[in-house]
Amino acid sequence: MSLDGLYREIILDHYQNPRNRGELGDANAASHGLNPLCGDEVDVFLKLEGDQIDTIGVTGRGCSISQATGSMMSESIKGHSVAEAREMAQAFKSMMTEGGSLEDRDEMADLEALQGVKQFPVRIKCTLLPWTTLTDALDRYAANGESR
Amino acid sequence: MFDPQRIRDDFPILQRQVHGKPLVYLDNAATSQKPRQVIQALSHYYEHTNANVHRGLHTLAEEATEQYEAARRKAARFISASGPDEIIFTRNTTEALNLVALSWGRANVRAGDEILISQMEHHSNVVPWQLLAREKGARLVYAEVGADGLLDLDAIERQIGERTRIVSLMHMSNVLGTINPVAEVAKLAHARGAVMVVDGAQSVPHLPVDVRDLDCDFLAFSSHKMLGPTGIGVLWGRRSLLEQMEPVLGGGEMIAQVLDDSSTWNDLPWKFEAGTPNIGDGIAFGSALDYLTELGMQAVREHERELTAYAMETLGALPEVTIYGPRDPAKRGGAVAFNYGSIHPHDVATVLDYEGIAVRAGQHCCQPLMRALDVSATVRASFYVYNTQAEIDALVGALGKVKEVFGDVAGRPV
């Protein structure tokens, strides 16, 4: 595995020009994700309309892999339903940890570039952080809905 | 004559290539490489001597015992202990510090007492005291680290009070490189009736350390950071304290007489060494001590002071680099923590690895210090006897590659 295989152009593009970057003032679901061992932080803000993820904002600080993943994730889940977003989170985790594939998933095409990270086992958790933060935000939203 | 080029010939691993580039090993604060003499001592022991110590009456057992106890005598001489009975072999520094907390700490710390450490401590000199404080209802107090990477002796004097039972500081920081004034702090601690514990994991491998000068009560250090094998470390303790202390582990070797309901303890230091010890690694550690003694610790210190000064100058000349810790090479050792622009240390370390350069990146087991510095992590280059200025040039050159990969690196460190 070469260095270019890890830092693919598409990953660096998302790192340098993150999509959907920023907090959402009108978010109705949010979560803060922290990887205490490397200090990576990701904040996910969601504006949900019923079961639909209408808008997403992502902020954070950390390595290129964690921040680029947050950007790619935001693009892929925006406009999808909560169930679809959860399913994408599963599919992504499966690709990184169980040899799953993202082929035939156009909305997740950029995320496939993160496959190379699998060659660097300590960095896999960097790719999972935005997704676990997203899942936590959705869990909180669901729990709030029940209490309403 | 201290000649790093000749020293390098003793370290087989330095011939290795990583990603097609010559290995530049700058992660010595994590663990050092081992000279052929140490590797051979280990294999020689298993090929010629292997036997259990202190019990057999056969030739191998006598030889193994003699070699193991010789290593203890070398460790005692290395830090100018008053005798080998003050040298307790442990697995590492962490276990040595835990031994103090579990034995002296449990017997002497009471509810409302205080334990003083600092913000720059390694987790191994934080968590054992947290556990002790929680068990006893004692309070853990932190001495602050200044923006200059130094501790404030006056502030420490104010923080050591009537209730302070233990003061425990690292002699040299594994992140900032700061050499702390532990001898001065020991005086302040003793004036208030507290014991002084010194975490020597980074100092004993790199500086001349004499426990009579430090006048501390306990000193902990590890073999693997000073050319020896992993799995063996030392707790030195003042004999009068060790004699009063209860063992932490019970079993063979540490007893004198075992009755049905109770036992009596073996003499120092074996009272604290239950079970079959790490004989082979202990003997090889003795070879590492011989190697360093031959080089001379003052010469080791001088070599690293020069390398550190050179690294501070050349790294510091890069506008993207932020260096942490004291500027003055006289006040610090050869662990240099830095950040490169806004690029996360893990990304920097990965790019450097592809240039053959091994550095540490992360929090260095020092989360309280990272919070005090307000950074999430740092890169760290740390030097030892076999490192050269050319390797620091390689590091500086390879940092340019980080810019090539990530483009704009400007911004606050992550």
Main-chain dihedrals φ then ψ at residue B89, nearest 5 degrees: -80, 130
Predicted confidence at residue B235, as pLDDT, reads 98
3-class DSSP assignment, residue B165: strand
Tell me the mean pLDDT in the region B9-27: 98
A15 and B CB contact within 8 Å: yes
A49 and B CB contact within 8 Å: no
pTM attached to this predicted model: 0.95
Tell me the mean pLDDT in the region B179-202: 98
Cβ–Cβ of B376/A39 closer than 8 Å?
Answer: yes
Question: Nearest residue on chain B to A12, judged by CA atoms?
Answer: B406
- Our CA angle for B328, B333, B337, nearest 5°, is 85
Chain A contact set for B350 (CB, 8 A): 3, 6, 120, 123
User: Does B408 have pLDDT greater than 90?
Assistant: no
What percent of chain B is predicted at pLDDT more than 90? Answer: 96
Chain B contact set for A116 (CB, 8 A): none
Chain B contact set for A16 (CB, 8 A): 406-408
3-class DSSP assignment, residue B333: coil
Tell me the mean pLDDT in the region B361-376: 92
Domain count within chain A? 1
- Mean pLDDT of chain B, nearest integer: 97
Predicted confidence at residue A67, as pLDDT, reads 96
Predicted confidence at residue B414, as pLDDT, reads 72
The closest alpha carbon to A120, from A55, A65, A81, belongs to A65
Helix and strand totals (H; E) in chain A? 5, 3
**Which residue numbers of B have CB closer than 8 Å to A's CBs?**
343-344, 346-347, 350-351, 354, 362-363, 367, 370, 375-377, 405-408, 414
Chain B contact set for A12 (CB, 8 A): 405-407
The closest alpha carbon to B115, from B99, B103, B132, B94, belongs to B132
Predicted confidence at residue A5, as pLDDT, reads 86
Residue B327: other Cβ atoms inside 10 A: 11
Tell me the mean pLDDT in the region A43-53: 96
Chain A contact set for B344 (CB, 8 A): 38, 40, 62-64
- Distance of residue A6 Cα from the nearest chain B Cα, in angstroms: 10
Return d(Cα A54, Cα A81) in angstroms, integer: 9
Cβ–Cβ of B346/A63 closer than 8 Å?
Answer: yes
Q: Identify the domain containing residue A82 by its residue range.
A: 3-147
Taking each helix axis from N to C end, the angle separating B279-295 and B297-316, rounded to the nearest 10 degrees, works out to 80
- Distance of residue A40 Cα from the nearest chain B Cα, in angstroms: 7
Top residue of A3, A9, A67 to mutate, by most chain B CBs within 10 Å, is: A3
Cβ–Cβ of A12/B351 closer than 8 Å?
Answer: no
A9 and B CB contact within 8 Å: no
Task: State CA A53 to chain mean position distance.
Answer: 14
For residue A133, the domain's CATH number is 3.90.1010.10
* pLDDT (tens digit per residue) in B218-255: 999 999 999 999 999 999 999 999 999 999 999 999 99
Predicted confidence at residue B43, as pLDDT, reads 98
* pLDDT (tens digit per residue) in B32-87: 999 999 999 999 999 999 999 998 789 999 999 999 999 999 999 999 999 999 99
User: Does A17 have pLDDT greater than 80?
Assistant: yes
A120 and B CB contact within 8 Å: yes
Return d(Cα B154, Cα B143) in angstroms, integer: 10
- Reported as a pLDDT band with limits 50, 70 and 90, residue A39 is confident
Active-site residue flag, B366: no
* pLDDT (tens digit per residue) in A90-146: 999 999 999 899 988 999 999 999 999 999 998 999 999 999 999 999 999 999 876
The full set of domains in chain B, from first to last, is 4-30+297-406 (3.90.1150.10), 39-293 (3.40.640.10)
3-class DSSP assignment, residue B22: strand
**Structure token pair of residue A16:** 């340098």
- Reported as a pLDDT band with limits 50, 70 and 90, residue B412 is confident
Chain B contact set for A120 (CB, 8 A): 350
User: Does A148 have pLDDT greater than 80?
Assistant: no
User: Does B179 have pLDDT greater than 60?
Assistant: yes
- How big is the A-B interface in CB pairs under 8 Å? 53
Predicted confidence at residue B20, as pLDDT, reads 96
The answer to whether the CB of B220 falls within 8 A of the CB of B96 is yes
Cβ–Cβ of B344/A63 closer than 8 Å?
Answer: yes
Predicted confidence at residue A147, as pLDDT, reads 55
The closest alpha carbon to B245, from B265, B229, B222, belongs to B265
Q: Out of B14, B318, B365, B409, pick the active-site residue.
A: B365
Predicted confidence at residue A4, as pLDDT, reads 87
Question: Nearest residue on chain A to B371, judged by CA atoms?
Answer: A39
- Of B265 and A104, which is predicted with more confidence? B265
Tell me the mean pLDDT in the region B332-351: 96
What percent of chain B is predicted at pLDDT more than 70? Answer: 100
Out of B406, B407, B414, the one facing A61 most closely (by C-beta) is B414
Helix and strand totals (H; E) in chain B? 15, 17
Tell me the mean pLDDT in the region B181-192: 98
ipTM of the prediction: 0.90
The closest alpha carbon to B405, from B344, B357, B325, B326, belongs to B344
